[in-house]
Amino acid sequence: MAAVLGQGIAEAAQEAVWHGADTVYAADAAALAHYQTLTYCGVMAQIAQQAAPNILLIGMGAIGRELGPRLAFRLRTGLASDCSDLRINPDTRLMEATRPVAGGNAMATLVIERTRPQMATVRGKTTEPAVRDASRQGHVMAVEVTLDDAAGAVTLVERVKAEATGVRLEDAEIVISGGRGLQGSGDFYGVLEPCAKVLGAAMGASRAAVDEGWVPNQMQVGLTGKIISPKLYIACAISGAAQHMAGCGYAQTIVAVNRDPDAPIYQRATLGVVGDYKKVIPAFQKKCADLLK
């Protein structure tokens, strides 16, 4: 089963069927055109009560981070948040959810034994996406949207859409990031950005670089920034603090470029390059450009 909320969602509901859902609960209403926590939480609670799922999963994005705990509280159940792996125990038939703790330095396995549904928010790109099959048949069930009094507690006054160029950090298969070891915003846009354009990559940064004001907040990767799982993560002049690695530790391949051979990031990196990023990155960029010609 799947749930789709929004306005004009017929196509999205059909996509859910083609990606494996036998039943899709579709809540289509003008009040759902833009995400608002109380409104979406109320409608999702209605769907959960109607469908009575044993397991309820939500993507761990900006919406899931806010919606998951509120919905779990409303349904009086538990929530395993920011999970990187899920499995069903063949003996207990319970979901076992694995998530990073202690800044990503350890992993914990959580089990919701007594309440239902068993809920989890799941990191993106930690599992292979379902294969799209346009021949699949399923049932799209329209949900009557009934808003409770709580939904009116917040009034949307204005929406400001941020200008974005290039690949979104959360969606990128390749990310190149810089840390405090860079020498200011000039190196982000003069050294890293040209390489990112050649690779079709998104740009990220450590919290230290954001705090210095070199790059905007939306580029921050880490426990208090974006949590990403790209195929390739290139970390330039980043020491590898636990808070940063919690945001990128599930990249399939991590390449570290740092002049300090004892930098903690080398303990997590797939490949380490001990050297000056000002020499390494332009040389790497040129090699990639030559190969892509």
Q: 165-215, pLDDT tens digit by residue?
A: 667 888 899 999 999 999 999 999 999 999 999 999 999 999 999 999 999
Q: End-to-end alpha-carbon separation of the chain, Å?
A: 45
Confidence of residue 104 (pLDDT cuts 50, 70, 90): low
For residues 33 and 159, is the Cβ–Cβ distance under 8 A?
Answer: no
Strand 85-88 relative to strand 95-101, pairing: antiparallel
Domains 2-153 and 174-292 share a fold: yes
Tell me how far apart the alpha carbons of residues 122 and 142 are, in angstroms, rounded to a whole number: 26
Higher pLDDT, 163 or 87: 87
For residues 55 and 112, is the Cβ–Cβ distance under 8 A?
Answer: no
For 181, the 3-state DSSP assignment is: coil
Confidence of residue 57 (pLDDT cuts 50, 70, 90): very high
Lowest mean pLDDT across 37-41, 151-155, 199-203, 243-247: 151-155
CATH of domain 2-153: 3.40.50.620
Torsion of CA 261, 101, 72, 34, to 10 degrees: -10
Angle formed at CA 66 by CA 60 and CA 67, multiple of 5 degrees: 85
Superfamily of domain 174-292: TPP-binding domain (3.40.50.1220)
pLDDT of residue 165: 65
- DSSP of 91-136, one letter per residue? TT--EEEEEEEGGGTEEEEEE--SSSSEEEEE-TTSSPPPPP-TT-
Residue 138 backbone dihedrals phi, psi, to 5 degrees = -155, 175
For residues 228 and 170, is the Cβ–Cβ distance under 8 A?
Answer: yes
Tell me how far apart the alpha carbons of residues 120 and 62 are, in angstroms, rounded to a whole number: 15
The percent of residues above 70 in pLDDT, for the chain, comes to: 97
Domain ranges of the chain: 2-153, 174-292
The two three-digit tokens of residue 178, written as one number: 């810089």
Q: What are the tens digits of pLDDT across the range 69-87?
A: 999 999 999 999 989 899 9
Residue with tokens 């919905």: 71
User: CA distances (Å), 43 to each of 135, 269, 273, in order?
Assistant: 30, 43, 50
Q: What are the tens digits of pLDDT across the range 2-38?
A: 999 999 999 999 999 999 999 999 999 998 999 999 9
CA atoms within 13 A on the CB side of 253: 9
Tell me how far apart the alpha carbons of residues 76 and 54 are, in angstroms, rounded to a whole number: 14
